Structure 1
Amino acid sequence: MSAGGERKKTACVTGGNGYIASALIKMLLEKGYAVKTTNSHFKALQALGPLEVFRADLEEEGSFEIALAGCDYAFLVAAPVNLMSANPENCVAQIKLACQKELIEPAVRGTLNVMRSCVKAGTVKRVILTSSAGSVIVRPDLQQGDGHVLDEESWSDVEFLRAEKPPGWGYVVSKVLLEKAANRFAEEHGISLVTVCPVITAGVAPAPTAHTSVPGCLSLLSGDEAAFNALRGMETFGVVALCHVDDLCRAELGRRRYLCCSLNTTVRDIARFLSKNYPQYTVKTNLLSGDLLEKPRVCLSSAKLEREGFEFKYKTLDGMYDDMIEYGKALGILPS
């Protein structure tokens, strides 16, 4: 109950250990929600408000029913596997069926598993699905020319991805297919569904570990080539697009499919920024070889989100990196 005796709105956030999920839990508690989450090992956030932790498995039918019971909102953040860190070389080497079985089908199946539990709960007013800008940006028509502007109406080309198998193709296909499966399910069962497609996410979260986004953003300082390849991988599609995790969490409270991006930049711009602003580190210029963009060829637009009154707090690299350096130290990505 709230101080006035009214029942707090209750939200379930799946995958509470994750970088985005932990930041979302923190924001919801600060806004006065009661929060239930799954598979979280840290309970420091309980000081902010009522937080319950449950065990659940995306591959286990019905395992989210207890966590979702009595919830008003369900935030689907957990993924069945850490798809972004899946070895691209292994994925390319496998036949198409292997990626289908190991990456794509579990993502779709896990999403629908949680949504079925939302229906069974009978109290969930809205489901908020965290997808990825990967479901928007990978299209063969963007390989030529520049000045392309993409928004939520764009979809990555699944047939192109399955035919060409670029690095990370299984992850991108999984995001497209799970979104479309979730949309069909929501329409069939009368569920209010919001989908948020974040780009590379920067900033600090309560999570004691962070995969992909934060290591990628700090890779030019850490020298981690695998993390840098994730950053550079997005640029192969024409842009390095960023948003701050705090802005992303606020965008999760919207009502439609939104692309969440506040800054379109390049690897070279990030390198120049880091060299100027963090001289105590040496930017690993050896990572900058090859064909890198001087300016973005593609712009990811969040105009729809902004037209509905949303205002990004973080629109520059200064804002993105403001406290992420110290976070990187705490995570062991950067030396103390």
Structure 2
Amino acid sequence: MKMKTACVTGGSGYIASALIKMLLERGYAVKTTVRNPDDMAKNSHLKHLQALGPLTVLRADLDVEGSFDDAVAGCDYAFLVAASVNLASGEDLEKELIEPSVRGTLNVMRSCVKVGTVRRVVLTSSVAAVFVRPVSLQGDGHVLDEGSWSDVEYLRAEKPTSWGYPVSKVLLEKAACRFAEEHGISLVTVCPVTTIGAAPSLNFNTSVPSSLSLLSGGEVWLGVLKLTERTAGSVPLCHVDDLCRAELFVAEAPAAAGRYICCGLNTTIAELARFLARKYPQYDVMRNLQTIDDELLEKPRACLSSAKLLRGGFEFEHKTLDEIFDNVFEYGKALGIDLPY
């Protein structure tokens, strides 16, 4: 039998590296793209992954038209994971982040049309494209599913913290959907929540430092955690292995279509603090919690629902805080997060 081949863009990144590992372990031949293959500081993990199976590392840039042609040629599936990330409120995020994000996504999809072998494109977006609204969620029982979209008009008008990121995700999703319909591409979009767990890449990500901020006491990352709860109405979590399993599931499932939220558990900062205090008593979690001066939720006001994914036949393997945090502490130390004990 011919070995299935997949392209994973952004191989130097956290989620992409975990997805590459899983694909190789499941017998796929994998082609991945990075901006500079010679940069071993960012890409050394790809050398180690090549021991697992056929992995080809190619140079490509989201800003360069046609640079993904070789990467997607001959591939059955294309996983679009590479993305521009700029969480700061810069002077011109429209030009620095939003336009490049949309342009880069369509650049890869044009290459998929050109080569003609790709059976399905799996776009990795974010629940940042789902839950950002003008008014914080009040009361309990909100269920946010794939029909929910962040409010782009509000974000552009009010420019709250990190506003460019959710705008970019909404616009690139909608642009990709239009392009897929116009060119007959089978497109599925996955919207991950805060994703944690060990991955081959040791490069920067935001989710692991924020999830461990109650241990490290890092004020910036505690702020990210607080912003997530205030905006989303919960702290939604997913283990990176479950996210990769979900991406592969929707790639291979013939009936998969549209958006899929990937969330293993909706929790709160208060619940997370109690869990971490029990699991790591050597850390002063409760003192770090006191630096978050806003009123904290005792239970989630909102649920980021993965019901559509579950109805399709997918099952999460990490459903509790204990399971989701199974190897995050050790991975955080490997990333250089200040965890002295």
Q: TM-score, normalised by structure 1?
A: 0.93
2:165 alignment counterpart? 171
Check whether the contact 2:16–2:81 (CA below 8 A) recurs between aligned residues. yes
CA distance in 2, matches of 1:159, 1:139: 10
CA distance in 1, matches of 2:294, 2:132: 21
Secondary structure in structure 1 of the residue aligned to 2:227: helix
Which residue of the partner structure matches residue 118 of structure 2?
124
- The aligned amino acid for 1:170 is G
Instruction: Give 5+ residue unaligned stretches, structure 2.
Output: 38-42, 251-255
Letter in 2 for 1:249: C
Secondary structure of 1:242's match? strand
- Equivalent residue number for residue 25 of structure 2: 30
- Give yes or no for contact 1:220–1:287 (8 Å, CA) kept in 2: no
Q: Which of 270-279 and 227-236 deviates more? A: 227-236
1:335 lines up with 2:335 in the alignment: no
Q: Aligned partner of 1:182: which letter? A: A
Structure 1: unaligned runs, 5 residues or longer? 1-5
Q: Deviations over 1:101-131 (max 9, x none)?
A: 1111000000000000111111010000000
Map 1:7-46 to 2 at 5 A. 7-39=2-34, 41-42=43-44, 43-46=47-50
**C-alpha displacement at 1:287, in angstroms?**
2.7
Contact 1:242 1:264 in 2 (8 A): yes
How do 1:64-143 and structure 2 match up within 5 A? 64-79=68-83, 81-83=84-86, 86-88=87-89, 91=90, 94=91, 98-140=92-134, 143=137
What per-residue deviation string (whole Å, max 9, x for no partner) do you get for residues 123-162 of structure 1? Answer: 0100000000011111236533321101111111111111
| Aligned amino acid, residue 54 of structure 2 | P
Counterpart of 2:240?
245
Query: Could you list the per-position Cα deviations for residues 184-237 of structure 1 after superposition, in whole angstroms to 9, with x for gaps in the alignment?
Result: 000000000010000000111111224100011011111111122222111112
Q: How far off is 1:169 after superposition? A: 0.9
In 1, Cα distance between the equivalents of 2:69 and 2:291?
47
Q: Is the alpha carbon distance of 1:109 and 1:102 closer, same or farther for their aligned partners in structure 2, counting shifts above 3 Å?
A: same
Looking at structure 2, the residues matched to 203 and 118 of structure 1 have their Cα atoms a distance apart, in angstroms, of 31
Q: Give the alignment partner of residue 304 of structure 1, picking from 298, 305, 308.
A: 308
Partner of 2:253: none
Aligned twin of 2:289: 285
* SS of corresponding position for 1:258: strand
Matches within 5 A, 1:199-218: 199-218=193-212
Separation in structure 1 between the aligned mates of residue 240 and residue 291 of structure 2, nearest angstrom:
26
* 3-state secondary structure, aligned to 1:195: strand
Q: 2:65 aligns with which of 61, 71, 79?
A: 61
Return the letter of the residue paired with 1:201.
T
Tell me what 2:139 maps to: 145
Match of 1:3 in 2: none
Which segment drifts farther, 51-60 or 162-171? 162-171
Q: C-alpha distance in 2, partners of 1:294/1:300?
A: 17
SS in 2 for 1:140: coil
- Partner of residue 155 from structure 1, selected from 138, 145, 149: 149
Asked whether the equivalents of residues 142 and 148 of structure 1 are also in contact (C-alpha less than 8 Å), the reply is no
The equivalent residue for 2:298 is: 294
Cα displacement (A) at 1:75: 0.3
Confirm whether residue 267 of structure 1 aligns to residue 269 of structure 2: yes
**Identity rate, percent:** 69
Aligned equivalents of 1:51 and 1:228: distance in 2? Answer: 37
